[in-house]
Amino acid sequence: MSAPEFRAIVVDRTEDESGKRTQSAALTTVTDDILMDGDVTVAVEFSSINYKDGLALMGRPGVARVWPLIAGIDLVGTVESSNDPRWSAGDRVILNGSGIGESHHGGLAERARISGASLVRLPEALSPVRAAAIGTAGFTAMLAVLALERGGVLPGSGDVLVTGAAGGVGSVAIALLAARGYRVVASTGRGDELGDYLRGLGAAEILDRNTLGEPGKPLQTQRWAGAVDSVGSHTLANVLAQTHQGGVVASCGLAQGADLPTTVMPFILRAVTLAGINSVEAPLALREEAWGRLATDLDLGLLDGLTEVIALDESFAAAERILAGRIHGRTVVDVTR
């Protein structure tokens, strides 16, 4: 009997005679023979387009680490078969990170074979499409909110800044923080275009990202009780320089750059904490805590309002838009379409 066929977006890399390497991605039909080792097989229903997916689908280096590779750092689906005692056929599951879409085949396909160790059960309060809309971006935002809370940043502590506010992480972070009673300031380069959108999520104030994007003094006027930063570089350095005594900044992205041109002064003179957020390697207990909070804390009506659902073959156009900064909110991929 031949192996079942299914559709998948596959990233591959070629090398010419001169040694030049070229990466590309295409929607193609494959069989189970392509799947990697794993103890759980999932019929995937939904994935999403994140910045990492945009890089992979547009042939940019730095995300895919093995070739050929099925793209997609998120998946939501139903267990078909399992050798992991935690999971049985029919279970609805979520997987974010854990190497999928980077070193292990990911969710932009109709089937996946993965390790059950990092799977999280789909909360009853969430539909599969809403779980995909939350995805890695929303999961990362929740991890950042948890880091602020654990660092003692509470709703009455003062303003909390969210940079990259119109992106997936930023959008969900604003919604989560505002729902908890924080006063949120949203930093974006598209305030004129998206100000109403960000205020609708709960932002109390819009800040032009250019005010943070250039080199600044190592210590500046204290403005933020905490921050969620997905930008890095000079933006993160300025955020740290403006954070209150004892404040917490959660760092989860590098849209401006991976460098951090700052000094130790915010850390030793103001006791600022820089909390790194790694959604890829988050342990299972933290994954379950974050998804449990997302199911109860996030306004699902707001989530629906910031979500676009596309078909699998529309992923490439969405990838191009996300790299160009023309997407706001969340883009869900219905892999069955």
Express each pLDDT in 58-112 by its tens digit: 988 888 898 999 999 999 999 999 999 999 999 999 999 888 999 999 999 999 9
Stretch 180-209: mean pLDDT: 94
- Cα distance between residue 99 and residue 107, in whole Å: 11
Q: For the beta carbon of residue 239, count every other beta carbon within 10 angstroms.
A: 30
Is the pLDDT assigned to residue 2 strictly greater than 80?
no
Answer yes or no: do 264 and 319 share one domain: no
Express each pLDDT in 275-331 by its tens digit: 999 998 899 999 999 999 999 999 999 899 889 999 999 999 999 999 888 878 889
pTM: 0.92
Answer yes or no: do 234 and 266 share one domain: yes
Is the pLDDT assigned to residue 236 strictly greater than 80?
yes
Q: Is 281 a domain residue?
A: no
Question: Which of 219, 214, 215, 210 lies closest to 263, judged by CA?
Answer: 219
Q: What is the CATH number of the domain that holds 94?
A: 3.90.180.10
Q: Is 291 a domain residue?
A: no
pLDDT for 97:
83
Per the structure, how many domains does the chain have? 2
Q: Are 186 and 164 in contact (CB under 8 A)?
A: no
**56 Cα distance to chain centroid:** 15
Q: Is 129 a domain residue?
A: no
Parent domain of 147: 136-276
Answer yes or no: do 159 and 271 share one domain: yes
Answer yes or no: do 148 and 268 share one domain: yes
Q: Is 296 a domain residue?
A: no
Q: Is 293 a domain residue?
A: no
Q: What is the CATH number of the domain that holds 233?
A: 3.40.50.720
What angle, rounded to 10 degrees, do the helices at 128-150 and 168-179 form? 70
Stretch 260-289: mean pLDDT: 95
Answer yes or no: do 108 and 140 share one domain: no
Answer yes or no: do 85 and 43 share one domain: yes
Q: Is 286 a domain residue?
A: no
Q: Is 186 a domain residue?
A: yes
